[in-house]
């Protein structure tokens, strides 16, 4: 049952739903049921059109995505839209790429709903790093290579006066690093990781548009990945994975291999 906080008795419910990394077949059964039943769907830039196609006839769809370098809906306006639709008595699906609680600002939206007394539920999704790693053949953990995984963002809140990250510290960890939204600052990030002690020949990968038909992957090292991937035309949306587990991509890249076999001769 959805939770309703506060004194305000809302007539609608908001579901913060993870749409997964792109491949519509990675949508959970619960997410699919909610998308099909929703009166209104408020969706992000990275939500697959195939997933939106599951919406019922007559459902209201509202785009609130953010494109790099382009102005779109401020976060406060998105939260206001969710409150308005719920107060109109609608069943609302807030559809987010990946998982709503992993760099998806789902926590902020849940706080706004709770403060307004709006009933809501959180529906997890396959977060982008998991989808990108799986489709690239990179096991994020492996008994011989890595026993820890760290999720990081390369794009913090621009209103912060000081970064909460000391990338040098992460360069000292014996862990797999998954960097979201890091393409713009990748040169600086990799340089600082090396300054912290991470060897320049540590394997690294950039996976763009993971799990979709536009999926591309580039494998290099921490020392060259920023410049080499830029020269190869890689950009957002992309996940960067750093660590010894990346070595296994050459053997386990099943998605690229399957696509190559499917191409006409």
Q: What angle do CA 114, 116, 118 make, to 5 degrees?
A: 65
Predicted pLDDT at 194: 98
Closest CA to 20 of 106, 101, 131, 109: 131
Residue 7 pLDDT greater than 50, yes or no: no
Check 7, 23, 39, 44 and give the catalytic one.
44
In this predicted model, what pLDDT tens digit does every residue of 150-195 receive, in sequence order? 999 997 654 554 556 799 999 999 999 999 999 999 999 999 999 9
Predicted pLDDT at 260: 80
Model confidence pTM above 0.85:
yes
- The domain segmentation of the chain, as residue ranges, is 13-126, 129-258
Rounded CA separation 201/111 (Å): 43
User: What's the Cα-to-Cα distance from 196 to each of 173, 193, 219, rounded to whole Å?
Assistant: 9, 5, 22
Check 30, 39, 66, 184 and give the catalytic one.
66
Find the helix or strand (DSSP H, E) in which 35 lies.
Answer: helix 29-37
Predicted pLDDT at 265: 46
Average pLDDT, integer, range 87-100:
97
List alpha helices for 88-204, DSSP H: 106-116, 128-136, 167-170, 186-195
Is 157 one of the catalytic residues? no
Rounded CA separation 199/115 (Å): 47
Average pLDDT, integer, range 41-54:
95
Rounded CA separation 126/97 (Å): 9
Predicted pLDDT at 165: 76
Predicted pLDDT at 264: 57
CATH topology of domain 13-126: Cobalt-precorrin-4 Transmethylase; domain 1 (3.40.1010)
- Select the more confidently predicted residue: 10 or 46: 46
| Domain 129-258 belongs in CATH node 3.30.950.10 | yes
Determine contact, residues 157/226, Cβ cutoff 8 Å: no
- Compute the CA torsion angle 182, 99, 83, 89 (nearest 10 deg): 150
Is 251 one of the catalytic residues? no
Predicted pLDDT at 4: 56
């Amino acid at each position: 049952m959805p939770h309703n906080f506060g004194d305000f008795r809302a007539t609608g419910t908001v579901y913060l739903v993870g749409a997964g990394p792109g491949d519509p077949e990675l949508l959970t059964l619960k997410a699919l049921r909610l998308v099909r039943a929703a009166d209104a769907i408020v969706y992000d830039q990275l939500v697959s059109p195939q997933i939106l196609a599951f919406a019922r006839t007559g459902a209201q769809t509202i785009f609130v995505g953010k494109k790099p370098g382009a102005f779109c809906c401020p976060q406060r306006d998105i939260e206001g839209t969710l409150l308005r639709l719920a107060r109109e008595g609608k069943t609302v699906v807030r559809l987010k790429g990946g998982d709503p609680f992993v760099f998806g600002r789902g926590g902020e939206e849940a706080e706004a709903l709770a403060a307004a007394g709006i009933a809501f539920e959180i529906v997890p999704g396959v977060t982008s790093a998991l989808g990108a790693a799986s489709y690239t053949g990179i096991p994020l953990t492996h008994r011989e290579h890595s026993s820890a995984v760290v999720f990081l963002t390369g794009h913090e809140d621009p209103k912060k006066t000081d970064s909460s990250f000391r990338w040098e510290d992460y360069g000292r960890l014996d862990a797999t690093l998954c960097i979201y939204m890091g393409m713009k600052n990748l040169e600086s990030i990799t340089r600082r990781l090396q300054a912290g002690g991470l060897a320049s020949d540590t394997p690294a990968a950039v996976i763009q548009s993971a799990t979709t038909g536009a999926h591309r992957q580039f494998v290099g090292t921490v020392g060259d990945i920023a410049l080499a991937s830029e020269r190869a035309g890689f950009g957002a949306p992309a996940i960067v994975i750093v660590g010894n587990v990346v070595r296994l991509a050459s053997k386990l890249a099943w998605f690229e291999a399957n696509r190559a076999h499917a191409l006409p001769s």
